[in-house]
Amino acid sequence: MDNPKLLILSASTGNGHMSAAFAIAAEAERAGLEAVVVDVMDVTPDAFTSWYRGGYEKLVKDRPELWGHLYKSSDRPLFNYGFQTVLDFTFTSKIRKLIADMRPDWVVCTHSLPQPRLVPLRREFGFRMGIVVTDLYVHRMWLRGRPDAFFVPQEWTKEVLRRRKPRLGAHCVVTGIPIHPVFGERKFERSWGGEKWAVVSSGGIGGGPLTDAVKVMLESGWRVRVVAGRNQAAFDSLTTVFGGDDRVVVLGHIDAAKMAELMQTSHLLVSKPGGLTTFESLASGIPFCVYWPFLIPGQEEGNATFLRDIGAGVIAHNLDELRSALGKLDDKRLKAMSAAGLEQALPDAAAKIVQALREL
């Protein structure tokens, strides 16, 4: 199908899922295809939206261990998985009107929420269904609805999918995770000599002990660009503590172009390994220090292991380990980590997905 019409469904829980959707849409439009992005949270009842989005953000900020338990327990065909699937099906009924109005050839999901509802709609409207997995590990929620194609980050992900669902694994393309094209353009140069800058971020939600991490970075001789995301309270606190320190730049919510600039001109990223953040860092060639208190248990644990195993990252579980890791990151080690990341980078994932949708 040379010119398929694409409906891209996502959900605004965190930043990554929607960012992936918009990256695919932008690439589709560059290829001359019609592509529409819909945040499914905009067509679900207000109470469900508040519970789904607000509950997620509250749990990952205030009770990450509980979120980790729910994530892992719903990865098995037990009560939590079945209950969530029933809720997802029940409260996404308005998706039908979107499909009836647009009549897409492909419905592409960058979040698993709409998948159960798409099962009967496929029979009614005849579209094909593609799933863009935005973490290295394929959780059971991504397997719902008998998709026609999976687009996954790495060969390791493909092997996990084959083991879990052999039939589905046969319809799988390794593309990487779709990121904004600015991360692959490499407009900025990083100098390894002289003072060292780190980007410290705990994601768009801005949870986690940012202040303590910045203090350790400063004690270890680093200069810091700290990103508070949408967390105004964290931004205000960081400004109060570090506002007079010329070694620290405090930033709030920033766009992709600014984050790409920070990653490409800094020497270390201290952050949580969200799926998009992981692949943005690889494309930018910035060494990654996974700081465990920022991490969301469950989906991000596999991403952390991946970064460590390919040599592009280190893991620090607490402030003492962060301090120790920083002491070992000399220029030679940082350059090697940067090179290892660039070897695994797949900055053209969105283009690969669009091309595959045209060929399948």
For the stretch 258-302, pLDDT in tens is: 999 999 999 999 999 999 999 999 999 999 999 999 998 888 998
pLDDT the model gives residue 285: 96
Instruction: State both tokens at 315.
Output: 């893991």
- 202 vs 133, which has greater pLDDT? 133
Number of domains in the chain: 2
Question: Last residue of some domain: 156, 178, 200?
Answer: 178
Do 12 and 128 reside in the same domain of the chain?
yes
Question: Last residue of some domain: 161, 178, 195?
Answer: 178
Averaged pLDDT of the chain: 93
Do 202 and 161 reside in the same domain of the chain?
no
Span 88-105, mean pLDDT?
97
Do 133 and 205 reside in the same domain of the chain?
no
Please check whether residue 351 lies inside any domain of the structure.
no
Do 35 and 170 reside in the same domain of the chain?
yes
Secondary structure E strands in 229-346: 248-251, 268-271, 288-291, 313-316
Residues found in the chain: 360
- 52 vs 93, which has greater pLDDT? 93
Do 188 and 252 reside in the same domain of the chain?
yes
Please check whether residue 360 lies inside any domain of the structure.
no
Q: Whose CA is closest to 200, among 272, 269, 118?
A: 269
Please check whether residue 353 lies inside any domain of the structure.
no
| Separation of alpha carbons 178 and 20, rounded Å | 5
For the stretch 302-340, pLDDT in tens is: 899 999 999 999 999 999 999 999 999 999 999 999 999
| Separation of alpha carbons 37 and 85, rounded Å | 22
Secondary structure E strands in 221-343: 223-227, 248-251, 268-271, 288-291, 313-316
pLDDT the model gives residue 65: 87
Span 95-108, mean pLDDT?
97
Do 301 and 171 reside in the same domain of the chain?
no
Do 169 and 228 reside in the same domain of the chain?
no
Residue 36 has pLDDT above 80, yes or no: yes
Please check whether residue 252 lies inside any domain of the structure.
yes
pLDDT the model gives residue 139: 94
pLDDT the model gives residue 347: 94
Please check whether residue 132 lies inside any domain of the structure.
yes
pLDDT band with cut points at 50, 70 and 90 for residue 15: confident
Do 104 and 187 reside in the same domain of the chain?
no
Range of the domain at 136: 6-178
| 27: CATH | 3.40.50.2300
Residue 168 has pLDDT above 80, yes or no: no
pLDDT the model gives residue 170: 66
- Note whether 35 and 24 are within 8 A (CB): yes
Please check whether residue 299 lies inside any domain of the structure.
yes
Question: Last residue of some domain: 148, 178, 208?
Answer: 178
Do 84 and 65 reside in the same domain of the chain?
yes
Do 162 and 186 reside in the same domain of the chain?
no
Do 150 and 243 reside in the same domain of the chain?
no
pLDDT the model gives residue 63: 85
- Note whether 206 and 231 are within 8 A (CB): yes
- How far is C-alpha 160 from the geometric centre of its chain's CA atoms? 19
- Note whether 271 and 201 are within 8 A (CB): yes
- Note whether 5 and 34 are within 8 A (CB): yes
| 256: CATH | 3.40.50.2000
Question: Which residue do the tokens 């589709």 mark?
Answer: 28
Please check whether residue 359 lies inside any domain of the structure.
no
| Separation of alpha carbons 20 and 132, rounded Å | 8
* Cβ neighbours of 278 (radius 10 Å): 32
Do 165 and 190 reside in the same domain of the chain?
no
For the stretch 42-59, pLDDT in tens is: 999 999 998 888 878 788
Q: What percent of the chain has pLDDT over 90?
A: 78
| Separation of alpha carbons 14 and 230, rounded Å | 10
pLDDT the model gives residue 206: 61
- 72 vs 14, which has greater pLDDT? 72
Cα–Cα distances in angstroms (integers) from residue 348 to residues 96, 131, 180, in the given order: 31, 17, 9
